[in-house]
Amino acid sequence: MLIEADFLVIGSGIAGLRAALALAPFGRVAVLTKADPSESNTGYAQGGIAAAMGDDDSPELHAQDTIAAGDGLCVPEAVDVLVGEGPYYVRELLEWGAAFDREPDGRPALGREAAHSVRRVLHARDATGREIARLLWSRVSQTAAIQVVDDASATELMLDDGICRGVSFVTAHTTGTVAAPQTLLATGGAGQVFRETTNPAIATGDGIAMAARAGACIADLEFVQFHPTVLSMEGSPRFLLSEALRGEGARLINGAGEPFMERYEPAGDLAARDLVARAMVREAERTGAPVYLTLAHLDPDFVRRRFPTIAAACAHAGLDLATDRIPVSPAAHYVMGGVETDLYGRTSVPGLVAAGEVACTGVHGANRLASNSLLEGLVFGARAAEAMTHGVLAGTCRSDRHDVRVPAREAPCPSVHEVRDLMWRHAGLVRTHDRLEEAVTHLGGWASTVLAGRMASSADPEARRLASIVTVGWLIAGAALRRTESRGGHFRADFPSHDDLHWKKHVADRLHV
Ligand code: FAD
Ligand code: SIN
């Protein structure tokens, strides 16, 4: 099957859909999406979308919070774009009919989340992503120039003389190609690389792996954000318990029922995510008991009204969100690194742009501020579309370059579960040289096998999943081994401090296959 288009968008989350809408007036747009069109990280987003829209807020204050969370590595120009253009694109969503919660006077209600100095998170109860996806899909389905191809997994970017000309894909029944002079990668994150994750099954990092195989610069992959509060019950899915719960007053308590965060961090329950996650692990180790979230001191009617989706998930697990203590533990949530881009999404490969979680604009630095990701998809999705209408240009690799060669030694591949388990134990919340080195050795051998066997293009979905998880896991573990300091989401027990002299910088991997 051959599909010809003026613009190809791979992925149907917030970044891909916003870009597709911006591209439609300029030509035929093909949107390729791996599963059911609504399946994306976007659809699961809970807390909301941050934008400086309150009377006590400003883009400057939003920038300040974003840069503080990014722990020394935010690219300031990217932050200025995000916070400066963000309110325009969020107002546009409101004009299009986004059913965000409102104050009695009609203004958008603003929620609070960790490391934000003011209330600035617009939300639709606790299912903000579902509402945004509904809205974008309703517009896409009314736009004749956009053709959506669902249940189609992009497998390899097609390069002609180093220029991206489209992509090959597989469906359950056939294979095909989309030929287009401009391709946007909007394939989202890679949480599934880890055993414990908030991300849905689609988030296997396919876009990062594809771009790496095409020779694009992949920056900052060691920076993975682990969300502290995920439902932790034997047999229950790892359901996210939004940070907005703590924004509204929920407390973390230990097994004896004592709040403990202030003992570890001055900002207490609303400290940055990496700090909260590690404090929880330390408290659980200290007490030998699990850690819980409690909302029992809040008005139960308010809790159930404000957080209906989370309350329903807890009820499914036999817990009452308003009155029971809820067992929680951290899980991989968001990848700050990805395909390196400039401020218009241009990658180091001509004809290939990237936006959303798959991209690394540098806007999040070493750690993302809560609710900045939906905003990033919106703002940089639209900007990537603008670049695409201006022709084929490459961005530059702004980071220090590191060449990665595939080991000659191939090793028989394990199961997807074994890889994810290894990543969780060896490249998770607390990392050390020895464990990372062991992971890199195993993953390098497996990466060699999946690349030599062209498993990324296999007709078998499990083989494709394994190919992405191994490739991205290998790059994450390698980057984490290289960075001999701790910063943001990357914590090395053997190098627990910042090392600004050597490491206040970005590093981009360039894979040679
Ligand atoms: P996604 O929304 O993940 O979309 C990626 C798309 O690419 C999907 O359609 C997928 O099917 C497709 N795709 C992937 N691989 C392929 C392939 N090989 N071929 C074809 N298609 C492919 N952020 C916030 O700002 N606020 C929040 O409140 C918030 N809450 C969150 C809650 C949860 C549980 C999770 C998991 C994340 C949350 N985040 C939140 C993060 C945020 O949702 C994501 O970072 C953001 O939605 C990413 O958008 P995206 O468009 O880049 O990718
Ligand atoms: C949450 O609701 O806690 C997730 C918000 C985010 O990841 O930005």
The CA 370 to ligand 2 mean position distance, Å, reads 5
- CA 166 – CA 157 distance, rounded (Å): 6
Per-residue pLDDT, averaged over 231-245, amounts to 93
- Cβ-count burial 127-163 (b if 16+ within 10 Å, e if not): bbbbbbbbbbbebbeeeebbebbebbbbbbbbbeeee
Contact 433, 494 (CB under 8 A): yes
Around ligand 2, the residues with Cβ closer than 6 Å are 46-47, 242-244, 370-371, 373
Radius of gyration of the chain (CA): 21
CA of 45 to the centre of ligand 2 (A): 7
Give yes or no for residue 236 having a pLDDT over 90: no
Q: How far is the CA of 127 from the centre of ligand 2 (A)?
A: 11
The single-letter DSSP state of residue 223 is -
Mean pLDDT value of segment 333-351: 97
CATH number for 231-330: choose from 3.20.20.80, 3.40.50.970, 3.90.700.10, 3.40.1080.10.
Answer: 3.90.700.10
Cβ atoms of 168 and 457 within 8 Å: the answer is yes
Encode pLDDT of 436-488 as tens digits: 999 999 999 999 999 999 999 999 999 999 999 999 999 999 999 999 999 99
Q: What is the DSSP string of 32-56?
A: E-SSSTT-SHHHH--S-EE-S-STT
Position 2, amino acid: L
Nearest C-alpha to atom 1 of ligand 2 is from which residue?
242
Q: For a ligand 1 pocket test, name from 65, 374, 378 the mutation site with the most ligand atoms within 8 angstroms of its C-beta.
A: 374
Ligand 2 atom with the shortest distance to the CA of 47: 2
H-helix segments, 288-412: 300-306, 308-316, 372-388
33 lines ligand 1 (CB under 6 A): yes
**Maximum separation of any 2 CA atoms in the chain, in Å:** 66
Predicted local confidence at residue 329, as pLDDT: 97
Cα–Cα distance between 205 and 359 in angstroms, integer?
A: 11
User: Residue 113 has what pLDDT?
Assistant: 92
Tell me the percentage of the chain whose pLDDT exceeds 70. Answer: 100
Q: Is 197 in the pocket of ligand 1 (CB under 6 A)?
A: no
Cβ proximity of 103 and 135 under 8 Å: no
Domain with CATH 1.20.58.100 in the chain: 401-512
Q: How many CA atoms lie within 13 A of 469 on its CB side?
A: 27
Residue pair 3/149 in contact (Cβ under 8 Å)? The answer is: yes
- Ligand 1 centre and the CA of 14: distance in Å? 7
What confidence score (pLDDT) does residue 391 get? 85
Mean pLDDT of the chain: 97
pLDDT at 120: 97
**pLDDT higher than threshold 90 for residue 233:** yes
Where residue 395 falls among pLDDT bands split at 50, 70, 90? confident
Give the pLDDT score at 208. Answer: 98
What distance in angstroms lies between residue 197's CA and the mean position of ligand 2's atoms? 13
Can 465 be counted among the known catalytic residues? no
Q: At 211, is the pLDDT very low, low, confident or very high (cuts 50, 70, 90)?
A: very high
Q: What tens digit of pLDDT does each residue of 486-513 get? A: 999 999 999 999 999 999 999 999 999 8
pLDDT of residue 397: 86
- Its sign, for the CA torsion 3, 216, 444, 469, is negative
Closest ligand to the CA of 293: 2
Which tokens go with 328?
A: 């929680």
Side-chain half-sphere exposure of 78, counting CA atoms within 13 A = 29
Q: Would you say 240 and 197 are in contact if contact means Cβ atoms under 8 Å apart?
A: no
pTM of the model: 0.98
* Nearest-angstrom CA–CA distance, 375 and 373: 5
Q: What is the pLDDT of residues 276-331, one digit of tens each?
A: 999 999 999 999 999 999 999 999 999 999 999 999 999 999 999 999 999 999 99
How far apart are alpha carbons 276 and 265 in whole angstroms? Answer: 8
CATH topology of domain 401-512: Methane Monooxygenase Hydroxylase; Chain G, domain 1 (1.20.58)
Q: State in Å: Cα 216 to ligand 1 middle.
A: 21
* 3-state SS assignment for residue 71: coil
**What is the SS3 assignment for 271?**
coil
User: Does the C-beta of 129 come closer than 6 Å to ligand 1?
Assistant: yes
Q: Which of 195, 273, 346, 492 is catalytic?
A: 273
The strand pair at 163-170 and 29-32 is best described as unpaired
Q: Is the pLDDT of residue 224 over 80?
A: yes
Look up residue 431 and give its DSSP letter.
B
Give the ligand 1 atom nearest the CA of 355.
52
pLDDT digits (tens, 9 = 90+) for 410-419: 999 999 999 9
Residues of the chain with CATH 3.90.700.10: 231-330
Kind of pairing between the strands at 291-294 and 175-179: unpaired
Mutate to test the pocket of ligand 1, among 18, 41, 150 (most ligand atoms within 8 A of CB): 41
pLDDT of residue 127: 97
Sheet strand arrangement including 251-253:
224-231, 326-335, 291-294, 251-253
DSSP H/E element including 224: strand 224-231
